[in-house]
Amino acid sequence: MSQQITVYTSKSCPYAHRVELALVEAKADCTRYQIDLRNKPDWYAPKVNPVSKVPALAYGGPPVPADQPSPESTKLTESLVLVEFIADLFPESGILPKDPVLRAKARLFADAVSNKLVPAQVAVLIRDEDPEQLVQAYEAIQALLPPQGFALGPFSAADIAAAPFLARIELNLANDLGGFPANEGKGPKILELLHAPKLARMQQYLKDIRGHPSFVATFDEASRSVTLHFLCGHGH
């Protein structure tokens, strides 16, 4: 029913991680090609993504090596569009439920991730601004969570949107990595704010994410390269 899927990805990139989560949830047969973001292959921009970013997905067309993409495949980009695409290709995956109200709630959660969590992460972890922004972003996301489980109850596109960012925020802060000066314990200090009692529900959510199979399958290896990526000053 569906055609070949090749995803161009990078373990350090949270946006690409979203697509990898979706593909594992869908149990999709696909080819993964790692793009070194600091040394992109010269065919990547002209043949896959003119903006040169990951993730990108080549869908359909003849079976070709990933590094020789065919003009006949459809090239798609934008992590959240790709997650919806995978949900559409594999409706039984549960990435998006069938109920329109629940689908809307998943999208509103993804919206909060884009409009609150991601900008706060950039502000605090990269530009070394007031950590209170990140505390407030966590509180906003937490307010959308049900008393237990994932954003909609079962794991969905909502959690796929949030998980890669939450995981990298926590990992980087725990390792004192960020745009703030090193060796002043700033990272762990910020992490303590995020682990305050008023954010207990959020910490449980993170725990649930970390134990979820598709996350375990796509982050364990990535964690090392996430920290390395940051050390090289390429957080974005």
Partner 1 sequence: MSQQITLYTAKICPYAHRAEIALAEAKVEYTRFEIDLRNKPDWYVPKVNPVGKVPAIAYGGPTVPADQPSPESTKLVESLVLVEFIADLFPESGILPKDPVLRAKARLFVDAVSNKVSPAQAAVLIRGEDPEQLVQAYEAVQALLPPQGFAIGEFSAADIAIAPFLARIELNLANDLGGFPADQGEGPKILELLRAPKLARLQQYFKDIQARPSFATTFDKEHVLASSKRRFAELRAKKYGA
- String of DSSP letters for 18-64: HHHHHHHHTT---EEEE--TTS--TTHHHHT-TT--S-EEEESSS--
Binding mask 30-69 for partner 1 (x = CB under 8 A): -----------------------------xx---------
Structure tokens at 171: 């990992």
By the rule CB under 8 A, 8 interacts with partner 1: no
Residue from 45, 108, 182, 216 that binds partner 1 (CB under 8 A)?
108
How many angstroms separate the CA atoms of 140 and 113, rounded?
A: 9
Backbone angles phi, psi at 130, to 5 degrees: -55, 120
Name, in order, each residue with C-beta under 8 angstroms of 31's C-beta and a sequence gap of 6 or more. Answer: 4, 5, 6, 7, 66
* Other Cβ atoms closer than 10 A to 173: 25
Structure tokens at 105: 């709630």
By the rule CB under 8 A, 118 interacts with partner 1: no
The identity of residue 194, as a single letter, is L
* Element holding 7 (H helix, E strand): strand 5-9
Which SS3 state, helix, strand or coil, does residue 65 take? coil
Which residue lies nearer to partner 1 by CB, 123 or 140? 140
Which residue lies nearer to partner 1 by CB, 78 or 170? 78
- Minimum gap (Å) between residue 100 Cβ and partner 1: 4
By the rule CB under 8 A, 89 interacts with partner 1: yes
By the rule CB under 8 A, 100 interacts with partner 1: yes
- Minimum gap (Å) between residue 1 Cβ and partner 1: 10
Binding mask 68-87 for partner 1 (x = CB under 8 A): ------x-xxx--xx-xx--
Binding residues for partner 1, rule CB under 8 A, total 20
Residue from 111, 130, 132, 192 that binds partner 1 (CB under 8 A)?
111
Residue from 36, 67, 88, 220 that binds partner 1 (CB under 8 A)?
88
Q: Which residues bind partner 1 (CB under 8 A)?
A: 59-60, 74, 76-78, 81-82, 84-85, 88-89, 100-101, 103-105, 107-108, 111
